[in-house]
Structure 1
Amino acid sequence: MLSTIGIPGLILILIIALVIFGPKKLPELGRATGETLKEFKNSTRELTEDTTEEIKEVEVVSPKQK
């Protein structure tokens, strides 16, 4: 989806954001967005690791019979 925007679209979005939020508020919004994405990524990674560990524990307790 992001590949269909292109460079001119990204520049337009940046200019609109700059006009709406102003040059002082824009870096704060970018930082907050980055931190939110970082937290989401870490939470997703932890959830995936927990699920993988639980699957391994179940396989150890009751191995598949061939």
Structure 2
Amino acid sequence: MDEFYSGFAQRARDLAEKADPFTRRRLLDLAQRYELKSRPGSSHRRPSPPPRVTPPAVLFSGSGEA
């Protein structure tokens, strides 16, 4: 997976060489983000979502009438 992101980073840099200034800046930012993802143990990876919590059964007890 690291080579995957590293390859995308290089492609973005290659495209940036031929782009206008606005697009060049965006492509270089994108390349930097891909480069960070390609590093093993990087702290910039997306965090895992928090575990789901089941609501207490008390909320569901009752006859079901409103």
Scaled by the length of structure 2, the TM-score of the pair is: 0.29
Higher relative contact order (CA 8 A, sep 6+): 2
Per the normalisation by structure 1, the TM-score is 0.29
